[in-house]
Homo-oligomer: A and B are copies of this chain.
Amino acid sequence: MNAHHHDHAPKLSRNQNEILSCLRDANEPMSAYAILDRVRKTGISHPPTVYRALNDLMRKGMVHRLQSRSAFVACDHGACDGKFAFAICRACDKVVEISLSDEDQAGLLALAPDEIAPEQVTLELAGLCQSCRPAASA
């Protein structure tokens, strides 16, 4: 099993569990509707149910949303409190979660202008992963 995380695992509802498992199994970002298709057999059958569970899981830091894709991924770490970013392969959609050090976070927050006191960072790096890169450079 993959419940070997050091989580405090704050008791999930049935729906939240189904959707988190789905996302962990997929190992790639899924749209809410893709998740819906995949969990229909478990009795979840309407978009709001999926969005509710996703929002709950995001609040718990166990799922993240890829803004640039309108897609969701399970947190690699079980749960995070906001110090993360993503690298995404634009060809195959592979996603790598990046843990930001406190310094990294501080550096990012420091980019904000005086006028806006930043609370939350959204950082996504898009590129090409090794397997999607052309073998030779030309």
Query: Which residues of A come within 8 Å of B, CB atoms?
Result: 67-68, 85, 87-90, 94, 96, 98, 100, 104, 107-109, 111-113, 115-130, 133
Please report the C-alpha to C-alpha distance between residue A85 and residue B115 in the assembled complex, in whole angstroms. Answer: 15
A103 to chain B, nearest CB (A): 11
B116:A88 contact, CB within 8 angstroms: yes
A-B contact pairs, 11 of them (CB 8 A): A67-B67, A67-B68, A87-B116, A108-B123, A109-B125, A111-B123, A116-B128, A118-B125, A118-B126, A122-B122, A122-B124
A56 to B88, CA, bound (A): 24
For A85, A122, A125, A133, the residue with the greatest tally of chain B CB atoms inside 10 Å of its CB is A125
